Amino acid sequence: MKKVPPKKSHFFKPILPGFKNGLKIPVGFLKYLKGHDNVHAILRRGGKKWVMKVNGRRMEDGWTEFAEEHDLQLGDMLVFRHEGNMEFNVSIFGSSCCEREYAAYMQEDEDEEEETPKKFDLEEKVKANIRTSGKAFPNAEAANKGMHLSPSHLICTIKPYCLTKYFLRIPRQFALDNRLNNRKCTIIMRDELRSWTCSLHTNGNTYIGRGWHEFCTDKCLKEGDRVMFEIVSNGETPIFKFHDLRGNPSHHPEVKKNNFDAKRISDEEKPKANIKASDKAFPNVEAAEKDKHLTHSHFICTIRPYCLSKHFVAVPRQFALKNRLNNRKCMIIIRNERRSWTFSLYTSSNNTYFGRGWREFCIEKCLKEGDRVMFEIISNGETPVFVFQDLRGSPSLHPEVKKNYLDAKRIKTMDATSPKVQVPASTSADANPHFISTIKPYTIKHHVLYLPLAFVKSNGLMNRHCEMILVNEKRRSWSVQLGQMGHHFGIKRGWREFVRANGVQVYILVRMPRITPSEAIDKIQKLLVMGKETGTEASEYNKILSPLTGFSKRRLRLAGTVVVNGEGQKLVSQKTQAAAPLVAPVVDQQNGRNDNGNFSQSDNYLTHLVELDSRLPKNDSGMNKVLSECGVSSSNVSTMVQPQLNAHVDENPQKSMANKDPVALA
């Protein structure tokens, strides 16, 4: 069939782990972009536009916002239609193979006048029977905003810690109002159908402890869900009546955001502050580390009461540090398309603030509590210049939604940069794509190695229970099991054997580097394309893998569980006969052929290849020697992580089997 160039060319991309770092335009598509400005691209959807900065062929700046606003999830498929001049019309298809539906409001342009009353009406319904307590308590924040709840009602937004930490913090004021502070007792939580018994404990703050996790599980609570508790009895055993607000549209926004796979994968957020450094460096959880070298170019600020009552707003610490705004006292210029404002910038007590000029700005922009605005630094000279962007009309940036979301980002920021992480703890993520683990007594005693959350998140390992293979320099491998331990995640089964075999001792540093998820995915994509071509030799795969990751044929055997197409064609390994199709080839929109490395995910399943390769660092006490003796020093510690991205994969035992190929490399 004769090839005819399309009038409007398309390409499509599946949403894969690490997608929030950016999106690469397929190499094969570049021919359609010749002669265009390849530095910027514009994505259009729903009548809105997003400007992307293109680095090479990767859309970076601006992509994160696009992904967030559309709640992109792993397994989604995006079709890009080139309208010319680097403008792309984007269609988004979900895992159902149908175009994703977005609430009408998501597509509305910024129109505060219309939207505000809607929100207000919805909240009014809640207002009718809810009163709030508490002051600056993020979990109860929405309830606080202009709403007056009775002291016996508490609205909570489910934060990450609520799901990972097995407790829920009770706002101080609420606890005080209901005499729950300083109590240690059992409470009963119930809805119309059943009840749950939980413990209430206090240590300065008041918490719902034991039983909370079960409650969350039973109610399928997810981050961002909003629930209300009403104290219907406050005797010896207080009874909390549960009201599910998830069905209330006014409490829904967060849900969307929480569907973010990035979150699901990395799951970790830090809800709290009004301002998050939404730095592009850490646009998402799963690829935090990867992005570390990028810039902290903007932050998003949720307007808090103090922003209006005081004459300043705090600049996120990390943002200030990254942009060297801390310890500066100067004027800054804030501008949008129409005009500019001048603020003073100053630092006090290690905090950096926008000062004089802020109040006028708030008044002029009619900023209200809960509004969100973004400041992007575009010039950082003597007078830093920021571009101001009003996010109030951006649905996915709805105050509550964005808040948690950005909190997640901030966490990332913290994970990456906070001293806490860098200071040797049991495990810590450092700035490189690996983590350093200090072997502590409990690591040996309890036969467990906790993985730094940043590492877990950035690799999409959160909440996965999968096999991981550790390889030392002698090419001996150990199969270990990843899993969750309380609110920790790490290596459980198999760790003891690894410790014994390698003589791992307390205070030895084990450095475990990895490639970034996107690198792994790139490789997989290439392999998949090759896999479509019959007769491809293993050496060809090696050519792809070896230069970047040091993959050997042996390792390829390990990677053999990557299956390349719907017919179950295996990639390399002849040992994985049981392997079921894990990844389906992408079919070109026009001619039905695979498209330059893009691929879709069959059954939302993807095999990650993670290559660890590094030199062990010497610690202060010369422990490297010990490591050498035990055969770990200077080793290529390799892991191949084959996680299950989706629980339903478990339903297919064949696929589960496909994950298990504990090939000893020795």
Partner DNA sequence: ATCGATCCAGTTTATGGATA
Partner DNA sequence: TATCCATAAACTGGATCGAT
By CB under 7 A, the residues from 430 to 449 that bind DNA are 440-442, 446-448
Site for DNA contains 196 (CB under 7 A) = no
- Residue choice 161, 242, 478, 605 for contact with DNA (CB under 7 A): 161
| Minimum separation from the CB atom of position 663 to DNA (A) | 21
Q: Sign of dihedral through CA atoms 63, 69, 70, 74?
A: positive
Site for DNA contains 659 (CB under 7 A) = no
Query: Amino acid identity, residue 161?
Result: Y
- Residue choice 21, 258, 318, 516 for contact with DNA (CB under 7 A): 318
| Minimum separation from the CB atom of position 487 to DNA (A) | 6
Nearest-angstrom CA–CA distance, 523 and 549:
10
Stretch touching DNA by CB under 7 A, among 228-236, 377-385, 417-425, 561-569: 417-425
Site for DNA contains 415 (CB under 7 A) = yes
Nearest-angstrom CA–CA distance, 542 and 539:
5
* Binding track, positions 218-257, relative to DNA; x by CB under 7 A: ----------------------------------------
Cβ nearer to DNA, comparing 106 with 439? 439
Site for DNA contains 316 (CB under 7 A) = yes
- Residue choice 325, 334, 411, 583 for contact with DNA (CB under 7 A): 411
HEC string of 87-125 equals EEEEEEECCCCCECCCCHHHHCCCCHHHHHHHHHHHHHH
| Minimum separation from the CB atom of position 237 to DNA (A) | 15
Site for DNA contains 554 (CB under 7 A) = no
Going by the DSSP 8-state scheme, the letter that residue 543 receives in this structure is H
- To the nearest 10 degrees (0 to 180), the angle between helices 538-549 and 517-532 is 170
Q: Are 225 and 255 in contact (CB under 8 A)?
A: yes
Site for DNA contains 121 (CB under 7 A) = no
Site for DNA contains 492 (CB under 7 A) = yes
- Residue choice 22, 26, 209, 531 for contact with DNA (CB under 7 A): 209
Stretch touching DNA by CB under 7 A, among 97-105, 269-277, 380-388, 609-617: 269-277
| Minimum separation from the CB atom of position 243 to DNA (A) | 20
Task: From 630, 642, 612, 637, select the one nearest 481 (Cα to Cα).
Answer: 642
437 CB contacts (<8 Å, ≥6 apart)? 426, 427, 428, 443, 449, 451, 452, 509, 510, 511, 512
| Minimum separation from the CB atom of position 79 to DNA (A) | 35
Site for DNA contains 427 (CB under 7 A) = yes
Cβ nearer to DNA, comparing 509 with 582? 509
Site for DNA contains 363 (CB under 7 A) = no
Going by the DSSP 8-state scheme, the letter that residue 641 receives in this structure is B
Q: From the DSSP assignment, how many helices (H) and strands (E) are in the chain? A: 23, 31
| Minimum separation from the CB atom of position 133 to DNA (A) | 10
| Minimum separation from the CB atom of position 331 to DNA (A) | 9
Q: Sign of dihedral through CA atoms 476, 452, 256, 413?
A: negative
439 CB contacts (<8 Å, ≥6 apart)? 449, 504, 505, 506, 507, 508, 509, 510
First to last CA, the chain: 50
Site for DNA contains 409 (CB under 7 A) = no
Query: How many residues at the interface with DNA, by CB under 7 A?
Result: 90
Nearest-angstrom CA–CA distance, 519 and 517:
5
Site for DNA contains 117 (CB under 7 A) = no
Stretch touching DNA by CB under 7 A, among 232-240, 405-413, 609-617, 653-661: 405-413
Q: What count of other Cβ atoms lies within 10 Å of the Cβ of residue 153?
A: 23
